[in-house]
Amino acid sequence: MIEIKNVSKSYGKTRAVNDLSFTLERGEIFGLLGPNGAGKSTTIRMIMNIIRQDSGEILFDGKPINESDKDRIGYLPEERGLYKKVPVDELLVFFAALKGLPPAKALSEMDPYLKRMGLLDWKKSMTDSLSKGMSQKLQFISTILHDPEIIILDEPFSGLDPVSADQMSAMIAELRDRGKTIIFSTHIMDHAEKICNKICIIKDGKIRTSGSLDQVKAAHGRNTVVINFEGSAGFIRELPFVSDIIEWPGSCEVSLNDEPDSGQKLLQAAAQRLKISRFEIQRPSLHKIFVDLAGEGKKDE
């Protein structure tokens, strides 16, 4: 449905996107992942035809994007923006009209979305009376109200509490099940791991890895152990069969080398010094893969 073919974009001497290629299919949530400054927002703006690529092709159903294609797209940008002194329902009608949805249709369609996102009681309120999280949910509704085929979400969970994030995640999954093509851009790997079918990690405008979540994890090894514990796990880093460790309060993700029985050795060493509630050998998390491949990003684009 969407093809990105050898696309590049520079700003002066800075190459923001470098020979990027990937394909998105219907009914797919595609995670465009990378650190700040990786080229994610530039790529999205080129897909939206907000800016033009220097080289390469961006195709919708085999053809270059044109202005009429934009009505098929719902776009939630990272930079938030709502008109302030406008009632919620009038704002939604306005944004829907920009995408070709008649006002009467927009009014009849918005209530279920407002109710689902806990905003129905705020329907007649001015947008500047909404909290940051409420404003984010309103912009999400404005993105999908005209029933677009393609939905682009740039950091959609910013400012949301866990309950609201779960509500939005459920709605994104339902949109996927209805055959929508969704581009999900974030640098929060927990979000991406939960909802994406396919991912592409970029850094400095280049693809570092791409494919289905299973393919990416399989390509980056299996010698990973997740431990939940009470105590201090700093000693694990010094064990000779440990190649790396990511630590959080009360848990860690440990990468093992190829030494025989390294998993059993880690269990024995950890059991002597920690109170363990979980010890699981698994594929590396997307967070770990991201850290390994992307490292620290450049300054924001």
The pLDDT-based confidence of 96 (bands split at 50, 70, 90) is: very high
Two structure tokens written together for 74 = 């719902």
Q: List pLDDT tens digits, range 269-280.
A: 999 999 999 999
Q: List pLDDT tens digits, range 2-58.
A: 999 999 999 998 999 999 999 999 999 999 998 888 999 899 999 988 899 999 999
Q: Is the pLDDT of residue 299 over 50?
A: no
Per the listing, tokens 């000693």 go with: 235
Q: List pLDDT tens digits, range 142-173.
A: 999 999 999 999 989 988 899 999 999 999 99
What pTM was estimated for this model as a whole? Answer: 0.82
Say what percent of the chain tops pLDDT 90.
69
Question: CB burial class (10 A; 0-12, 13-18, 19+) of residue 56?
Answer: middle
Q: Which is it for strands 181-186 and 206-212: parallel, antiparallel or unpaired?
A: unpaired
Cα–Cα nearest to 182, from 58, 37, 2: 2
| Domains 2-218 and 222-282 alike in fold | no
In the chain, what are the domain boundaries?
2-218, 222-282
The pLDDT-based confidence of 300 (bands split at 50, 70, 90) is: very low
Are 283 and 222 contacting, i.e. CB atoms less than 8 angstroms apart?
A: yes
pLDDT at 186: 84
CA distance 6 to 226: 38
Instruction: Specify the CATH class of 222-282 in words.
Output: alpha beta
CATH of the domain spanning 2-218, picked from 3.30.365.10, 3.40.50.300, 3.40.50.2300, 3.50.50.60:
3.40.50.300
Instruction: Give the three-class secondary structure for 222.
Output: coil
Per the listing, tokens 């974030």 go with: 186
Cα–Cα distances in angstroms (integers) from residue 201 to residues 58, 116, 123, 125, 207, in the given order: 19, 32, 39, 40, 6
Are 4 and 22 contacting, i.e. CB atoms less than 8 angstroms apart?
A: yes
